[in-house]
Structure formats: C-alpha cells, structure tokens
C-alpha cells in the first residue's frame, strides 16, 4: 500500500513539474492552460480567444487546437440557448395579450421554427459540457411542444 502511494505521489509531482516547465517555457502552452481553465469555468469566449492566440504562436499545440474546437462548439450551443430564452420571453409576452392576432401567431410560429431548425445543427462532442447540451435539449423540446400544440392541428 505504501509503495502504491509513493508511485501516485511521484506521478503527481512529475506531472506538476512538467506543467510548471511548460507554463514557464512556452507562452503558447501558458495560454493553453489558461484557455483550458476558462473553458472549464464556462467562459467559452475567453477560452476561444486564448486558444486562438496559443495556436497562432504554435500550430502544433494540441491543447490549443482541442480547446479552440471545443470552445467554438460550446459558443454555438450557448448562443442557441440565449436565443431560445429571448424567443421564449417574447412568446410569453405575446401570449399575455388579451387578443392574439394572426400576426402574433405567425411570429410565434417563426420563432419556434427557428429554434427547432437550429437544434439538429448543433454538434456537441463527448467533451462538450453535459449541462450545456442538456439545457439546449430542454429548450428544443419546449419549443417543439409549443409548436406542436399550436400549429400541428392546422396541418
């Protein structure tokens, strides 16, 4: 058991030494490490920017390439979620009116079709934040339900 602990501690110390060496020896890897942190805390735009800078300095920096790709995907999903929230707020505002006009109904239909149509184009990977992917799916299903309840009867 003691030998196992010694091996684990040795591996951790070696990993820390390598990380310290890379972070002090290469600006590209320093930026990559910062980008990874930004990505992990959900600041996808900063992660993308830092990863782009790291990649521009060293196009062979695999961490930068990975974070750059993942942050672009996460930004697309986050934008989808923000648009869905905004559209949902507009739909709620419309439905609170005493009379919903055909124009209002057309606006609701268009907003639903936009959100429903964009969902299949999102391309999460196994590295994409699961909570982000689930939130996007939740909004997709909500808009699908609204669309089906309001417009499937008309077809």
Hey, what are 71's tokens?
Answer: 């942050």
Residue count of the chain: 155
pLDDT of residue 140: 98
Low-confidence ranges of the chain (pLDDT < 50): none
pLDDT of residue 25: 57
For 96-137, what is each residue's pLDDT tens digit? 999 989 999 999 999 999 999 999 999 999 989 999 999 999
pLDDT of residue 92: 95
pLDDT of residue 146: 93
pLDDT of residue 60: 93
pLDDT of residue 155: 52
Cβ distance 39 to 14 under 8 Å?
no
pLDDT of residue 150: 87
* pTM for the model: 0.78
HEC readout, 7-37: HHHHHHHHHHHHHHHHHHHCHHHHHHHHHHH
pLDDT of residue 11: 83
């Amino acid at each position: 058991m003691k030998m196992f602990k010694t091996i684990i501690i040795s591996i951790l110390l070696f990993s820390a030494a390598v990380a310290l060496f890379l972070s002090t020896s290469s600006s590209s890897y320093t930026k990559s490490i910062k980008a990874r942190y930004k990505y992990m805390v959900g600041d996808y735009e900063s992660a993308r920017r830092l990863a782009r800078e790291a990649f521009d300095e060293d196009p062979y920096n695999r961490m930068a390439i990975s974070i750059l790709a993942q942050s672009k995907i996460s930004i697309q999903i986050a934008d989808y979620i923000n648009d869905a929230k905004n559209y949902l707020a507009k739909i709620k505002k419309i439905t609170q009116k005493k009379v919903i006009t055909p124009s209002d109904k057309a606006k609701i239909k268009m907003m639903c079709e936009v959100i429903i149509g964009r969902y299949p184009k999102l391309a999460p990977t196994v590295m994409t934040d699961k909570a982000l992917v689930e939130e996007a799916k939740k909004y997709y299903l909500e808009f699908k339900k609204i669309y089906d309840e309001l417009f499937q009867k008309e077809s």
